[in-house]
Amino acid sequence: MGAYILRRLLLMIPTLFGIMLINFSLTQFVPGGPIEQIIARMEGQGDVFKGISGSSGDSSPSDMQVGSGAGEKYMGARGLPPEFIADLEKQFGFDKPPAERFAKMIGDYLRFDFGDSYFRSTSVVSLIIDKLPVSISLGLWSTLLAYLISIPLGIRKAVRNGSRFDTWTSGTIIVGYAIPGFLFAVLLIVLFAGGSYWRIFPLRGLTSDNWDSLSLIGKIADYFWHITLPVVAMTISSFATLTLLTKNSFLDEIGKQYVLTAKAKGLTERRVLYGHVFRNAMLIVIAGFPGLFLSVLFTGNVLIETIFSLDGLGRLGYEAAVARDYPIVFGTLYVFGLLGLVIRLLSDLTYVLVDPRIDFESRGG
């Protein structure tokens, strides 16, 4: 097993490299880069050079001639001195060839040095550390809630397949799956956050303003009070998928010969279900954990964090992409990719814990 883990860890390096290379290459063709963003922010200001790092606010009329050379590459740069554009390129590292910039970025990222944000005046590591607990918190609680509900419900639906209980719960699950998470979040706000009916839960944030003055029990209660609606909104679609996956997995195992043999030996239905069927049926459910967790954590976070004003990685990455803040974009992408690969490795190890008969090494990794 140790050799398999080592191979998987080594495979993470080229996988991450490929992810970063593809996305870095795509950004070379995306219009409206960081320099264009600065130029756009300068438009309409009285002193266009004021507040721009590395530039002088004292510019003579001769300096305000139509830009040429470096300035002609950027939309809206007409009228800016080429020296100023060249200074911006040097400040952001765009004076070097793309291959050299990418090599330097990968070398820094291997040391977890993500540099500084272009527009937030702080390091990317500090931003990620500050935002990561929010996203991890939402993802973990949503995934945990989905499993706690879906597994017992899916087992019961499999045991009572075709009954009235199975029929009406299937209808409810299909409706839940069809409702987008962000739309369900809006509905929860309207109903329970003071939108039009009850004001039971807070509308934004993960903590109250008086968080520091609360006791330990009070802080725990306040945290769960704030996180209830976002977690429920993020769980709705994953709960539906996981329930049907659990039901179908158990139905597939219940019809196999070893189950019939166990029943013929006089074992109770409960003993057969949880002593024999459960281990085999849960393998496919466990296999879906990485995809479910990553989907909840990264895909659903952007809209949910925005709707509930939660300052997490999803919202940070989206705002950075819009602003072309490349250090944040690539820093969060690197963290997301690394976290996803580690979670998938942990999922394979969980396979072995559930069923020791599985041997990844004999399959060549």
Residue carrying structure tokens 């939660």: 310
Task: Say whether pLDDT at 363 is over 80.
Answer: no
Mean pLDDT, all residues of the chain: 77
Return the pLDDT at 340. 80
Task: Say whether pLDDT at 304 is over 60.
Answer: yes
Secondary structure of the chain in HEC code, one letter for each residue: CHHHHHHHHHHHHHHHHHHHHHHHHHHCCCCCCHHHHHHHHHCCCCCCCCCCCCCCCCCCHHHHCCCCHHHHHCCCCCCCCHHHHHHHHHHHCCCCCHHHHHHHHHHHHHCCCCCECCCCCCEHHHHHHHHHHHHHHHHHHHHHHHHHHHHHHHHHHHHCCCCHHHHHHHHHHHHHHHCCHHHHHHHHHHHHECCCCCECCCCCCCCCCCHHHCCHHHHHHHHHHHHHHHHHHHHHHHHHHHHHHHHHHHHHHHCCHHHHHHHHCCCCHHHHHHHHHHHHHHHHHHHCHHHHHHHHHHHCHHHHHHHCCCCCHHHHHHHHHHHCCHHHHHHHHHHHHHHHHHHHHHHHHHHHHHCCCCCCHHHCC
The Cα 160–Cα 241 span in angstroms is 19
CATH 1.10.3720.10 in the chain, residue ranges: 124-363
Task: Name the CATH architecture for the domain at 124-363.
Answer: Orthogonal Bundle (1.10)
Mean pLDDT of 110-114: 87
21 pLDDT tier (thresholds 50, 70, 90): very high
Residue 254's contacts (CB-CB under 8 Å, 6 or more residues apart) are 158, 277
Return the pLDDT at 31. 72
pLDDT in tens, 315-359: 888 888 888 888 888 988 888 888 888 887 877 777 676 666 666
pLDDT in tens, 199-237: 888 877 777 878 888 888 988 888 888 888 888 888 877
Task: Say whether pLDDT at 71 is over 70.
Answer: no
Of all residues in the chain, what percent carry a pLDDT higher than 90? Answer: 2
Other beta carbons within 10 angstroms of residue 156's beta carbon come to 18
Mean pLDDT of 243-248: 86
Q: Are 364 and 5 in contact (CB under 8 A)?
A: no
Greatest mean pLDDT range, 163-172, 249-258, 270-279: 163-172
22 pLDDT tier (thresholds 50, 70, 90): very high
The Cα 158–Cα 246 span in angstroms is 8
Q: Which one has a higher pLDDT value, 43 or 275?
A: 275
Q: Which one has a higher pLDDT value, 60 or 272?
A: 272
pTM equals 0.70
